[in-house]
Amino acid sequence: MKEQTAPDPVSLLAWYDMHARTLPWRVPPKLGKSGMRADPYRVWLSEIMLQQTTVATVRSYFETFTERWPSISDLAATSEENVLKAWAGLGYYSRARNLKKCADMIVTRYGGQFPDTEDELLTLPGVGAYTAAAIGAIAFDRPATVVDGNVERVISRIYGVETPLPAAKKEIKSRATALTPKLRPGDYAQAMMDLGATLCSPRKPACGLCPWQKSCHAHRVGNAELLPKKAPKKKKPQRYGVAFVAVRTDGAVLLRQRPDKGLLAAMTEVPGSDWQEAFTFPTQLTVGHQAPLEGNWQKTSDNVKHTFTHFHLELEIWRSDVPLETIPPSPHWWSLPADIEQEALPTVMRKAVAAGLGRAIKARTG
């Protein structure tokens, strides 16, 4: 039987000092040990972007945002429309709207300076317990316990937590809190994230390189890949609809804004039908019945499929070429080819436009 020892935060920090990931929002551990702290604005922005999104995807968005808006005051000074355009393709668009609201609050209520306590951070729009803890630890070096998916995996394996997620969250948070040191809590929080992201991976974890190998229950019994356990996922419903891609002779595409509330609120879209589970696809289109304007509407060969958090969606794409003088119905507008990639189109709508035009539409602004 392999010997199991208690996990030691100091050994994890030593590993982090040698193997920390280089990320554009991070202060290297050598500078962190000297007392240099990360910019709260950059920590906050990165943590909001990283919710439900990978580091690889976030990196370019983060660099675009910080080049365009270097400070929280710069972000507050821009419009929500500009923020949504820069966010387009990153998904979970309520994050972008809360980003703007949060920037406004920090400037008006806190004079452009982030509050440094978890209680105050929790009052900010879009900032929950995890984000408040991350900002508190990483930006202000407070001994806050930061638990993301990577940390859940590490803790589950170290202590052999058999309870499936999400029911296990309370136990995992309790055990993680007991481990959090007062020494270098910001570096420790990032070390835990890096351990889960690089060594303690979901499949084929690199246990031989792990600084906590001797402390890991899952490694000792050989079931690391089985943890953390997760409750069975509920089957997502399937919805259907139609998207209309009207193209003027100069290549402009007809667009409109979605309602201010609900799914993809305030984002840009091509006109279309409601999305329903019981949906009858049309065999022809007429203005006033379904189509947004007169035209020779033709169904394209490929349907667009997209998955949201709570349902799958399949859209038929109908295209019509219309004359240059065609007036857009209110409140629609024409977006020229040079402008279309800068519109606040969510990914599903970029797919719809691409299918209608027969060419790729970039998934983000540059």
Residues designated catalytic = 47
Q: What is the spatial distance between Cα 188 and Cα 221, in angstroms, rounded to a whole number?
A: 26
Q: What is the spatial distance between Cα 194 and Cα 281, in angstroms, rounded to a whole number?
A: 48
Indicate the length of the chain as a whole number. Answer: 366
DSSP symbol at 93: T
Q: What is the spatial distance between Cα 146 and Cα 126, in angstroms, rounded to a whole number?
A: 16
For 349, other C-beta atoms within 10 Å of its C-beta total: 26
- The 10 Å CB-count burial string (b at 16+, else e) for 48-85 is bbbeeeeeebbeebbeebbeebeebebbbeeebebbbb
Q: Categorise residue 92: left if φ over 0, alpha if ψ from -120 to 50, beta otherwise.
A: left
Write the CB contacts of 133 (distance below 8 Å, at least 6 apart in sequence): 118, 144, 145, 146, 147, 189
Q: What is the spatial distance between Cα 50 and Cα 62, in angstroms, rounded to a whole number?
A: 10
> Which residue's entry shows tokens 């500009």?
82
* Three-class secondary structure of residue 74 per DSSP: helix
Contact 353, 361 (CB under 8 A): yes
